[in-house]
Amino acid sequence: MHERIEPRSSAQMNMPHRNRSSQPHALLRDADLAKRKLATEELSLAIVKRGKAMFTSRASGVRSLIEAIKECGSALAGAAVADKVVGRAAALVCVYAKISSVYACVMSELGLEVLKKFSIPFEHDTVVPNILDRHGTEMCPFERLVLKTGSPKEAFLAIDRYLAIRVSQEV
């Protein structure tokens, strides 16, 4: 869930400090392909590198990004990510994985700040103040978990630990 703010037009889409035309051609193709896969295949996450899908998921939440890192490891470096929702947690995980560009249907202001800070080109359809939990009542637990960390590695490890605890409690 997320709080809604007015969508931005394509002319207002944000690729900080870079124009889309200044990106390397292959990166642009990967970003466009990831974005297209996200929409046409009804995915929640698409990761593309060198014109090939490395990882896709229909599962919601940051868990898919964590699974992608565990499955693909350092091969994700330089890949383009297209995700339905990117907040601070997902943005820090993308930085940790050395993702080269990020597209989000919905991006939080905190996620946007992280991507700007680490000079990762990004694009979004809608910006919201915060990513909310599934009930839409308070901040997403993953966002709260990484609110005070600026370290992508610490964020990845904290989210991974949190997910492991949740899985063990479900069993």
Taking residues 129-158, what's their average pLDDT?
95
- Asked if 60 and 84 count as a contact pair (C-beta separation under 8 A), the reply is yes
**Residue 45: helix, strand or coil by DSSP?**
strand
Which residues have a Cβ under 8 Å from the Cβ of 90 and sit 6 or more positions away? 62, 65, 83, 104, 111, 142
Helices (DSSP H) in the chain: which residue ranges? 25-40, 63-72, 88-96, 109-117, 141-146, 152-170
Reported as a single tens digit per residue, the pLDDT across 27-45 is 679 999 999 999 999 999 9
Strand ranges of the sheet holding 45-49, from the earlier edge strand across to the other edge: 52-57, 45-49, 80-86, 101-108, 122-128
Reported as a single tens digit per residue, the pLDDT across 41-69 is 999 999 999 999 999 999 988 999 999 99
In this predicted structure, the answer to whether residue 151 has a pLDDT above a threshold of 70 is yes
In this predicted structure, the answer to whether residue 14 has a pLDDT above a threshold of 50 is no
In this predicted structure, the answer to whether residue 16 has a pLDDT above a threshold of 80 is no
Q: What is the predicted pLDDT for the residue at 122?
A: 97
Reported as a single tens digit per residue, the pLDDT across 92-125 is 999 999 999 999 999 999 999 999 999 999 999 9
User: Is the CATH code 3.40.140.30 the one for domain 10-170?
Assistant: yes
Question: What is the band of 168 on the pLDDT scale with cuts at 50, 70, 90?
Answer: confident
Q: What is the predicted pLDDT for the residue at 26?
A: 63
Cβ count near 57 (within 10 Å): 17
Residue pointed to by tokens 């002319």 = 11
Taking residues 135-163, what's their average pLDDT?
95
Both tokens of 66, joined, read 């964590």
